[in-house]
A and B are shown apart, each in its own frame.
Chain A
Amino acid sequence: MSLTITELDIAFGQLPVLEKMNLQVNNDEFVAILGPSGSGKSTLLQLIGGLLTPDNGMIQLNGESINGKKGLISYMPQHPSLFPWRTVLENVVLAAEIKGKPEYEEAKRLLEKAGLAEFENSYPNELSGGMKQRVAFIRALLSKQSLLCLDEPFSALDEFTRIKMQNWLLSIWEENRKSILFITHSIEEAMFLADRIYVLSKRPAHVKAEITVPFSRPRNERLLETNEFFHLKKQIFQHMKEDIADDD
């Protein structure tokens, strides 16, 4: 599954939000989008999800235009957005249920892998923040679509839980490869997880830099302490600096 976005423009009234946005997610590739808050990252996702239609430009999935078409991607939002009246098992099959038949066997298998087997019949209010995000991720993984869009999924977690969750995400992804578009505002998170990073400018957003992350997989948290990691971080930071300075 590949996603191609070409020359995408959208404005809300007089306010241009995205301008000539170009990006590409290849088959089974992990791509991160790194941008400042309010740069239109969520707008980009809403365009891909079909909730908004672009003013100009094209969004293509496997070469077919999906402008304004809903239900073609799987999605994990910033907040876990679990349904409080559904058990964990009923929650993870929801996305698949919307599109057709829920598969409970597959769901149980993934829950067990995620160490959530014993919580299968619990309600979300009995889970911790990290566990809720794991459930939300499994829910996205279980939907049939093979492009997975993640909208700052770990931004609300504490540092310890976040690193644990990033490791966990990578390990699950290695086994269940899908194309991933990962939105984040953390340089380190983008570098640790992705194959490629698009750095967005502030509003109106366009792609400022495209960086290929050279680190081999499988990765673990030791990568965070290496010199190479630090150098790359510095390099990415250079691209972001101008926008930070402008804001003052």
Chain B
Amino acid sequence: MRKMSMHGGRSLFFLLFLFILWELLIRLTETPKWLLPAPSDVLKEAAIGFGDFYGHLLSTISLSILGLVIGCSVGLLISIILHRLPKVNEVLYPLLILSQNIPTIVLAPLLIIWFGFGLLPKLIIISLVCFFPVVVASMDGFRQTAPELRHYMKMIGATNKQLFWKLELPHALPSIFSGLKIAATYSVMGAVISEWLGAKKGIGVYMTLAQSSFRIDRVFVAIGFIMLLSVGLFGVIRLAEKIMVKGRSEEKK
């Protein structure tokens, strides 16, 4: 844990260093603000414009979290179904991989045409982005159940249901969490893209407006908050992992 925070501290210092470098370069070359703003300009805009930005931020946060929850639940459910029914797995797994090859940017307008500008198409986009890492990671986790534990459970007469709930699921928990962590970082991106293509509120909307009026400083404010939001969701899932995954320190070392 201490090692972790020291690690985080170091990369924070490096980030600070990059910001200072950026600030200096902008000032030395006298780059105009509409082309590339200095970090200080971005911070200033973030502070002044936060009142306007606040509403957009809240909307994106709730959209990301809702999409993440739906996407992860669907992902977990699909992985359990595919794991328990190998025949279905054979048919569906290749289709799942194909589903990830459809570019979101192409799919999003289609979904808007079909489902309108409401919440549904946005949630579909976020879920589609989020569920895949969860499915892949969970299925790997289920498959990698220690064979000697599986053999033990069978010898003492465990049913298939018990085998899953008492062994496979808890055993796969660390894998499931790595899937969830990836999904968490994707979810914000999915939310922003979906807003981008049609919404009244949200960071995506704010960004499009900022871009079309050459307010590059505002674009950077949006980027900054997207990052913070991703890191925040990632952190929440890490915390849940810390609480729920127990007795595995030996394996992690």
Contact = CB atoms under 8 A, between A and B. Distances in A.
Interface in A61-89: 70-75, 77, 79, 81, 83-87
Nearest to A124: B247
B251 to A, nearest CB: 7
A97 B158 CA distance: 10
B162 A85 contact: no
B249 interface: yes
B162 A125 contact: no
- Among all A-B residue pairs, the 9 with the closest Cβ atoms: A71-B157, A123-B247, A125-B250, A70-B157, A81-B152, A75-B155, A49-B155, A84-B247, A98-B158
B249 A125 contact: yes
A86 B247 contact: yes
Contact of A51 (B146, B155, B171, B246): B155
A143 B156 contact: yes
Contact of B166 (A45, A70, A94, A143): A94
B248 A85 contact: yes
B112 interface: no
Chain A contact surface mostly? loop
B156 A74 contact: yes
Interface string B60-97: 00000000000000000000000000000000000000
B154 A70 contact: yes
Interface residues of B, number: 24
Contact of B157 (A77, A98, A125): A98
Given A98-B162, A125-B249, A125-B250, A81 B148 contact: yes
Interface of B: 146, 148-149, 151-158, 162, 166-167, 170-171, 173, 245-251
Interface string A88-132: 000000110111000000000000000000000001110000000
Given A70-B157, A75-B155, 19 more contacts: A49-B154, A51-B154, A51-B155, A71-B157, A73-B155, A74-B156, A77-B151, A79-B148, A81-B146, A83-B166, A83-B167, A85-B170, A85-B173, A87-B247, A98-B156, A98-B157, A125-B247, A125-B248, A125-B249
Contacts of A74: 156
Contact of B170 (A45, A70, A83): A83
Contacts of A84: 247-248, 250-251
A84 B155 CA distance: 19
A36 interface: no
Contacts of A125: 247-251
Nearest to B152: A81
A86 B247 CA distance: 7
11 contacts: A51-B155, A70-B154, A71-B156, A81-B149, A83-B149, A85-B170, A94-B156, A98-B157, A123-B246, A123-B247, A143-B156
